[in-house]
Structure 1
């Protein structure tokens, strides 16, 4: 079965307003007694259904920005809206709800639990949603099928290739049916062939309406996006060509 057979394109949502809107966002923190200005004034809009990549030098603020977009952290100053809701002043409880229900995360290191099967790793993402057992089972099966791993549901991570492990991680991210998927160097541990497979999968998910935001150092990854951003010294530039 090919990925085209697995993924049914349904089209993206109405792009009537930005999904994310950042205005004057800064993030400053203290590290070993010194002040670090990770973001110095980010102005940014991301529309629903976009595939956006963020590039830039090490230490330029890419991971910090991704943490803010993922409601894992809040700005020091400025405004950051997700679908019109102000994240910078949201309560810890509300930020946790947003992370649990609306945002999927994928990382370079896969972050799978080695003692759990593929299905069990994916199921972990559903724990905060308080679904019944049958609904969870259906969602897990559908998510793994969506990424082409119908025949690997009972395999442990050590029994899977790097590309398959990243597919499990993506299934875990999409099983809760998020509006946005944030990925930090998702192809960094993969060879060229596996990288292209993961990028094709992300493009299919974007075509279905999930907003994809990827931090990457790889220009081959960035070229697959619909928008390319560069973050240098805490400031964002749109370099889409």
Structure 2
């Protein structure tokens, strides 16, 4: 099975190379009667099929940027687009559709429902798409096989290792065939061996066409990326090519 079984090829020869475009993006909010400038004038492009990591000090704006990329929040000013969709002006309904169809999420905490099997957890991501039961089963089986868990679909999270649980979380993210996978410290709860296994899996998915953006404190993770961003005080201060 190849990545095209799980994630559709979105780019054609005539399609633009840029998946994300951010122009003058700021995000401010009020916290305990204090104005916090989480992002300050971020200009950034992320191309189709790139593997990008974001590093920086705590409070530097990394999580805020990931939320904007994930259509979970809107900028205070500036524009952010995902392909042809302008996220900064989209309606809540449109943003919900984009999250459901085009963006996969993976987190440090695996966020699996403990009373559901691996297959049922993966299937949850397909509920908003209105697919038939047969199509959903096919996609779930393919996604679990793609992350090396074809024989673990009927296992509960407590019956799986940490690395296997994160693989289930990745299967849940890719089962809807998104254009991009956003990950927040996806190896933070894993030992070095499991971390490396997950990184190899993510690199393979990226090589097969999935755009990958990871927030990480781990320099070993960042070193694997094709482009490394550093975000401090709400500003992208460094861009390093792998």
Normalising to structure 1: TM-score of the pair?
0.94
The count of residues paired between Structure 1 and Structure 2 equals 236
Aligned 1:43-122 pairs, distance under 5 A: 43-122=43-122
**Where in structure 1 are there 5+ consecutive unaligned residues?**
1-5
Structure 1 residue 8, shift from structure 2 partner: 5.8
Distance in 1 (CA, whole Å) between partners of 2:61 and 2:89 is: 21
- Paired position in structure 1 for 2:136: 136
Distance in 1 (CA, whole Å) between partners of 2:116 and 2:224 is: 33
Superposed CA offset, 1:20-68 (max 9, x none): 0001000000111111100011000000000000000000000000000
Q: Alignment RMSD, CA only?
A: 1.5
- Paired position in structure 2 for 1:19: 19
Distance in 2 (CA, whole Å) between partners of 1:144 and 1:13 is: 25
Distance in 2 (CA, whole Å) between partners of 1:240 and 1:62 is: 19
Superposed CA offset, 1:180-215 (max 9, x none): 000000000000000000000001100111100000
- Paired position in structure 2 for 1:155: 155
Contact 2:25 2:75 in 1 (8 A): yes
Contact 1:9 1:207 in 2 (8 A): no
Contact 1:102 1:179 in 2 (8 A): yes
Normalising to structure 2: TM-score of the pair?
0.94
- Paired position in structure 1 for 2:240: 239
Contact 1:7 1:204 in 2 (8 A): no
Structure 1 residue 7, shift from structure 2 partner: 4.9
- Paired position in structure 2 for 1:224: 224
**Where in structure 2 are there 5+ consecutive unaligned residues?**
none
- Paired position in structure 2 for 1:3: none
- Paired position in structure 2 for 1:38: 38
